Amino acid sequence: KDGSMYLVCDYIERGRLGNLLNSEEVTQELGWGRRVNIIRRLADALAYLHHDCSPPIVHRDISVNNVLIDSEFEPRLSDFGTAKLLSSDTSSWTAVAGSYGYMAPELALTMRVTDKCDVYSYGVVALEVLMGKHPGELLSSIASVTNMTDLLLKDVLDQRLPPPTGHLE
C-alpha cells in the first residue's frame, strides 16, 4: 500500500564457495564429483551471460566469494553489482572493478571490458576449486617459468582429499 518495493531472493543454504573451500569440516563433503559439477555449472552460467543474453552481460567480479552453494551443492553466481552490459553502441571502457587475485591482467592494463575478463576469472575460480586454495602462487610460477614439465596434476589438486579415480559425473 505504501508504494515500497522489495527485493526477495532465495536463501542459499551453504553460503559462499570460498567459505566452503576453507572449511575443514566441509572438505570431505565437497568431493571431486561435486567440485567438477560446480566448475561445469559455472561455465554454463557464463555461457548464458555471454552468449544467450542480449546484450551480453559481463559479470566483472567472478570469485569464490561471489559463488553461492545451495543445499544440493549447486552453484549460483551472485553479486551482479559490477556487471556491465556489452552493447555495440556504448563504450566498453571502464573503471577497474573486480576482486584482487581474480581480475584479468589485461583489464587492469587496458581498462577495456570483454567477456574474456570473466573467462580469466572463471579459470582462477576453477583452479581454486580443484586446488582447495587460491592459485596465486601457481599462476605466478607459471608466468615466470617457461619450463613447467615437472608440474604434475596430482601435486596441484587439493591434498585434503584422496586423488580422484575413474570417471567423475
- 42-56: per-residue pLDDT in tens? 999 999 999 999 999
Count of the separate structural domains present in the chain: 1
Q: Which domain holds residue 25?
A: 15-156
Residue range 110-134: average pLDDT? 90
Distance CA 43, CA 46 (A): 5
Q: Which pLDDT does position 91 carry in this prediction?
A: 47
Residue 5 within any structural domain of the chain: no
pLDDT, residue 145, reads 60
Q: Are 29 and 76 in contact (CB under 8 A)?
A: no
Q: Average pLDDT in the 134-147 region?
A: 73
Highest mean pLDDT among 6-10, 51-55, 87-91, 102-106 belongs to: 51-55
Whether residue 61 lies in the annotated active site? yes
Instruction: Confirm whether 10 is domain-assigned.
Output: no
Nearest to 26 by CA among 102, 129, 122: 129
Which of 127, 135, 131, 113 shows the shortest CA–CA distance to 59?
113
The model's pLDDT over 9-47, given as tens digits with 9 standing for 90+, comes to 888 999 999 999 999 988 889 999 999 999 999 999 999
Catalytic pick from 2, 61, 70, 89? Answer: 61
94 within 8 A of 113, measured Cβ to Cβ: yes
The three cell numbers of residue 136 are 596465486
Give the Å distances, CA to CA, from 6 to 3, 12, 79, 113, 154: 10, 18, 17, 31, 48
In a domain, 64, yes or no: yes
The domain that holds 145 is classified in CATH as 1.10.510.10
Residue 45's pLDDT is 97
Percent of the chain with pLDDT over 70: 85
Model confidence at 92: pLDDT above 60 = no
Q: Is residue 167, in this structure, part of any structural domain at all?
A: no
Q: Is residue 8 part of a domain?
A: no
In a domain, 110, yes or no: yes
Q: Is residue 73 part of a domain?
A: yes
- The answer to the question of residue 162 being in a domain is no
Mean of all residue pLDDT scores within the chain: 85
Q: How much is the pLDDT for 80? A: 82
